[in-house]
Structure 1
Amino acid sequence: MRCSSMWLIFALKFSFNLRSVHPVSMIKFTNIKCVALDKPFADFAYCKLKALSRDDVALSLRVKLFEVPVNNVSLKVEFFKKYNGYRPFLFNKTLNFCEFLRNKKRVALLDIIFKFLELYSNINHTCPYNNDIIVDRLILRPSYFTMLPAPAGEYRIKITVGAYNDWKAIVNVFLQIWE
């Protein structure tokens, strides 16, 4: 089979699978779990969800940094979808976070996420970080995900944060999407 034929079959199969994927119509946080791996370096002052209404759940967290300034940050972002347990889905990337903040368009999916995350946090500048990291009352809205059609279901986003080539914290964010 020629290479062009294989690409045609792949493209057709992919396009048929996209028919079951619709733009997000409803999305909300269901749980959050934060673990500090190096408490002398940083610890969570709080890491919580607050139900504001039936459909609105706000995420808030504060990371107290004890060794500042921090100018070497690594980030590992993994997406999981719940089938029988959480299975890897769509995205698994480790990157230099300081470099990413200088040019966000290089990682399109994270660029979509950071467009709305910057509105609710102080993670809106490049390194170094000289004060606590705060995310305050982040509420997910379907309008944030117009460029990212996703199938309905339960998801987990695992964010592992490192500094100076050592993992410092893990944040697991659980969310649910409806079509």
Structure 2
Amino acid sequence: MAATVKFTNAVCESKNKTWITFDRCRLRAINRNKTVLNVEVNFLHPVHSANLNFRMQKRANGYKPWLGEYTVDFCAFMRKSNHPVFRIVFDILKDFSTLNHTCPYVGKQIVKDLYWDAKGLQLPLPSGDYAVLLTWIFDKKPQALTNFYFTFHQDLFNE
């Protein structure tokens, strides 16, 4: 089964600019069918306790909840990756990011040229438009939002 993924939008928002700032949050077109994601974020104070709220939505007359909503203790996940849904997301991200270590996080963290090759996807995903909405929670307060939108197309008849 041939599957293609194309990022369509990226939105990064700091809720507390004294703790976290975004230097870059943008997509770059490589060709007609491929875009890459680049994010540069600065943690102005050490992050020792981080939770990540993950929501995935599918577009159908607006974006509707699709895969569910999960909150993961990000520092514990980085020590032992034990959450099956977030493990799928992190496997896509880990080779393109400097977030692949345990807490504390401080200074500049980068996601560079993130491209999702869906060949290894183990989750059945219908073709369509999707949104991955991430809320970063430090010390029990939402500090940043990172929302990524993409189009997924799977051709079941071409291999």
- Does structure 1 residue 29 correspond to structure 2 residue 4? no
Q: Which has the higher strand share?
A: 2
- Does structure 1 residue 128 correspond to structure 2 residue 107? no
Distance (whole Å) between structure 2 residues aligned to residue 49 and residue 144 of structure 1: 23
Contact 2:42 2:106 in 1 (8 A): no
Q: Any idea what the Cα deviations from partners look like across 1:47-74, whole Å, max 9, x if unmatched?
A: 000000111100000111111x211011
Contact 2:56 2:66 in 1 (8 A): yes
Matches within 5 A, 1:1-179: 25-67=3-45, 69-104=46-81, 106-145=82-121, 147-179=122-154
TM-score, normalising length from structure 2? 0.92
Moved over 2 A (4+): none
Counterpart of 1:5 in structure 2 is none
Q: 1:24 Cα shift?
A: 6.2
Question: Identity rate of aligned residues, in percent?
Answer: 31
Q: Which has the higher helix share?
A: 1
Distance (whole Å) between structure 1 residues aligned to residue 42 and residue 120 of structure 2: 28
Distance (whole Å) between structure 2 residues aligned to residue 154 and residue 92 of structure 1: 18
Q: Any idea what the Cα deviations from partners look like across 1:137-176, whole Å, max 9, x if unmatched?
A: 101112241x112000000000000111111000110000
Distance (whole Å) between structure 1 residues aligned to residue 93 and residue 104 of structure 2: 18
> Alpha carbon RMSD of aligned pairs, Å?
1.2
Partner SS for 1:178: strand
TM-score, normalising length from structure 1? 0.82
Q: Greater CA radius of gyration, 1 or 2?
A: 1
